[in-house]
Each structure stands twice: as C-alpha cells, then as structure tokens.
Amino acid sequence: MAPPGAAPGPGGVVAAPRRAHGVGTAIALGVLGVLVLVAIAVIGLQVGLRAVPAAAVLAFIPLALVMLAIKWVDRWEPEPWQALAVAFGWGASVSVLVALVLNTGAMLALVASGSSMLQADILGAAVVAPVVEEGIKALGVLIIFLVWRRSFDGPVDGLVYAATVAAGFAFVENILYFGSTVAATQGVPGGGAAVVTIFLMRGIMSPFAHVLFTACVGLALGIAAERTSRWAWVGALPVGLLLATVLHGLWNGSAMMGDGTGFITMYVVFQVPLFLGTVGLVVWLRRREARVVRERLGEYAATWWYAPAEVTMLASLGERRRAQAWAAGRGGPEGKAAMAHFQKVSTRLAYLRHRAQTDRADLRAAQDENAALGELVVARQRLQRALSV
C-alpha cells in the first residue's frame, strides 16, 4: 500500500472506481427473497395460514430489537447493505428450510430406530437441532466471509454478519413457534395467556439467543480475518462452530428439563451472564475500533491529509454526532449529509491503512487506498461547499 502521503492524481482528485452492485449479488438476493417466501409458506402449511399474520407481527418485535442492536454495533464502519441482505436472507430461508428438513428427518429416523417419542424429542432438541442449525448458519457466515472478504476486517464485522444471519433465522423460527401457539389456542378459553407466555419467553426473555450462539462463528472468522494467512479461517471456523453448537445444545437441553426450572436456572446462571459478557466484549471492540481510526488517521495527519482536530472528531462517535449537528446548523440537511459522508470515507481509509499495517494487504491495496484518497478529496470539497452556503 502506498504511504499516507501519496499524492492525488491530476487535478488534485483521484478517480475512485465506480462500484457496481454485481449481477451475482442481485441474483442471489432474488433467489433468497423467493426462498424466504417459500419458508414462510411451508410454516404456514404446518401451523395454518390464518395464524401466520399474527405470528409474523409478534415475530417482528424481537427482530426489530435485534436489528437495532446490530446497527448499534456496526456504527464505525457500516457493512455493505448487499452483504447484510444476503446474510439475513440466508438465515431466513436456506437455514430455515434445511433445518426443517434435516431436523424432521432426524426425528423420524430416531423413532424408526426404536427411540421413544420422548427420547427423540430430547435428542432432537439437545443434539440434532444445534448441530444442524448452527452448521447451516455458519455456512452462511462463511459465504459472506469469502465473498465479501475485503469488507470483513475483524471481530466486529464477524459479529455483525453472524448476528444478521441469526436474526433472519430467529425471525422465521419465531413465526413457527408463535403461529403454532396461536393456531392451537384459537377458540380455547385462556388461550391468549399461552400466546403471551411463548412471546415473553422467546420475544422478551431470549431474543438474542440465536445471535449469541452464531456470534461464536462470526467472532472466530473475524479473528481469522485479522491474521496474515488467508487460510486462517480453516482452523478458526471449527472452533467457533463447536462453541456455538455446545451453547445451543445446553440452551435447548435446559428447556427440556423437568417442569421448566432447569430453563429458568440456565437462563439466570448462564444466559444472562453470557449476554452481559457479550455486551462488554462489544463495548471493548468498539473502543478498539476507535483506537484504530485515531492511530491510522493520525498517520495521514502527519502528512497534512487531516488536521489534528479532525482526527479527534473522527475517532469519537460522540464527536461525530456533534460535528453532524454543527454541519446541519451551518449547511442544513446537505451539510449534515456531507459531514456524514466525510466521516464514512475517512473511516474506510483508516481501515484500509490498518489492513496494510497488519500485513493483510493484497495486490489491489494500493489502488484501493488511492481511490479512497480521491473519495476523501471529493468528500472534503462537498463538505466545504455545503458549509459555505
């Protein structure tokens, strides 16, 4: 990668290459969109189509909560929307359909082999489902990692993609559980209480359960993304997948224990500390990202690409918000948009530099940095015009 002081091209502006969305990505999104509808239709046939609308509304509530949390995590360098859409689509379609087929097939095989229905239920929930579901979700995260490798910079990115896959899976799975309960209690006295109970358990008490499981895979691949070897993921993926499967199995197994006291105990002793620990990890990773931005943009400031005050602003989310508010006061909506764009380009430049400094640059790294510097010049000019109005 070129040094931070690399000069822009003719006219002071480096031409940034136009980034097409890609025919392959468009086709993938189209196919996944159709498969999402197929997955919901299959569930509708299982629980009754009349129960699906109410179940979908209930399932949307924890989905919104999870997606807001993902957006909060992904504030420093937002991932490409195409990659996030593919991640969500994979979780909500391929993962669900494969899980439905393999989980059901395994249950039938267990019963056919002589297991009682109770034994099949326990083995299916505690062993088969965790292996199948975490395996197919992990495959989705791996596909994102391989296809969008240049946007997959570290543990935060891995966590964001894994959480998005898990969010899609949990959304459709919740439609199944909520729909089954709605269909089973229609016209039954006190049936509404059962719906409220299942919603509280899945939508309020544990909306992040699938996210926490699959996050193990995302974090493992994120750590691998920071290694110099392009094949580090081969060793990291099995470790993350094993941990995700074990956590999922413990969670499902506790729900099958006795009168529900095992689930409550597991929730208080295990799930809550795990969630709080993950929140702490995310906070630490966000501070780590702030340090990366401050250090790498500081290198550019040494060669006059940035003023020291700009680096200070760009290395703090709070200062970024205040800068956008100030720009809005000076230049209206365009001023705020221009400041946000300047911040986004600067963050991307910092991570390109960080990739080079950690010996992960490829043959296109110099071209990427040159293009990013050109985008920075254009973004700064746009901001200056907006503030001078």
Helices (H), the chain: 23-47, 52-73, 81-92, 94-112, 117-123, 129-147, 155-185, 191-199, 209-225, 232-255, 261-266, 272-301, 308-314, 317-357, 365-387
Q: Label residue 156 left, alpha or beta by phi (over 0 means left) and psi (-120 to 50 means alpha).
A: alpha
Predicted pLDDT at 363: 58
* pLDDT (mean) for 351-361: 75
- What pLDDT sits at residue 217? 97
More confident residue, 238 or 368: 238
Mean pLDDT of the chain: 89
Using one digit for the tens of pLDDT, what is the confidence trace for 1-14?
Answer: 444 544 443 334 44
Residue-wise pLDDT for 102-113, tens only, equals: 999 999 999 999
Tens digit of each residue's pLDDT (9 = 90 or more) over 275-328 = 899 999 999 998 999 999 999 999 999 999 999 999 999 999 999 999 999 999
- Amino acid 367: pLDDT: 79
Instruction: For 158-183, give the DSSP string.
Output: HHHHHHHHHHHHHHHHHHHHHHHHHH
Q: What is the pLDDT of residue 20?
A: 46
Q: Are 212 and 278 in contact (CB under 8 A)?
A: yes
CA distance 255 to 264: 8
Average pLDDT over residues 142-168: 93
Q: What span, in angstroms and rounded, lies between the C-alpha atoms of 162 and 219?
A: 8
User: For residue 382, is pLDDT > 80?
Assistant: yes
Residue extents of the structural domains in the chain: 23-256, 293-387
* DSSP secondary structure, 365-380, as one string: HHHHHHHHHHHHHHHH
d(CA 351, CA 361): 11
- Predicted pLDDT at 6: 46
pLDDT of residue 160: 96
Give the model confidence (pLDDT) of 59-79 as tens digits. Answer: 999 999 999 999 999 988 889
What is the structure's pLDDT at 196? 93
Residue 47's pLDDT is 92
Q: What is the rounded distance in angstroms from the CA atom of residue 300 to the CA atom of residue 384?
A: 19
How many Å separate Cα 369 from the centre of its chain? Answer: 26
Q: What is the distance between the alpha carbons of residues 128 and 123, in angstroms, rounded to a whole number?
A: 6
pLDDT, position 291: 93
How many of the other CB atoms lie within 10 Å of CB of 312?
15
Give the CB-side neighbour count of residue 175, counting CA atoms within 13 A.
28
Give the range among 33-42, 129-138, 184-193 with minimum mean pLDDT: 184-193
Q: What is the pLDDT of residue 352?
A: 87
Q: Which residue has the higher pLDDT, 262 or 279?
A: 279
Tokens of 124: 């299916």
